[in-house]
Amino acid sequence: MTNIQKIAKVLKLLNQHHAKTSEFVDASLVFFEKIIDAAEEINNKDAAVRTHEENAVYTFVWTLIPEMKKCLALHNEYNESFRDQYIDAIKLLSSISEANKNA
């Protein structure tokens, strides 16, 4: 299973559960760390040999990194708005993941 497939699996799990506790924040932090790691792994690969899916994930993740870092910095100040932002981000990432799979 590739890192991208692992991320897709985490996305689906998070999207299904929508936990309303600190567990959701913890899971989201792990997710953000993993997706940043995957983007860095793709970045280290020669652009000429990247797959279409890798390029799509790479481009999308790097546009999200500033938001991810902001969320990571806020994780100690958990509140409903923060949780809702994660849920929205996860729904968006899930839909893009599905769209890339079906492309």
- The answer to whether residues 32 and 72 touch, using CB atoms and an 8 Å cutoff, is yes
pLDDT for residue 95 is more than 80:
no
Q: What number of other Cβ atoms are within 10 A of residue 50's Cβ? A: 15
Quick one: pLDDT band at residue 102, thresholds 50, 70, 90?
Answer: low
pLDDT tens digit sequence for 22-50: 565 666 667 777 777 777 777 788 878 88
Nearest-angstrom CA–CA distance, 31 and 87: 12
CA 84 to chain centre: 15
The token duo for 18 is 């929508």
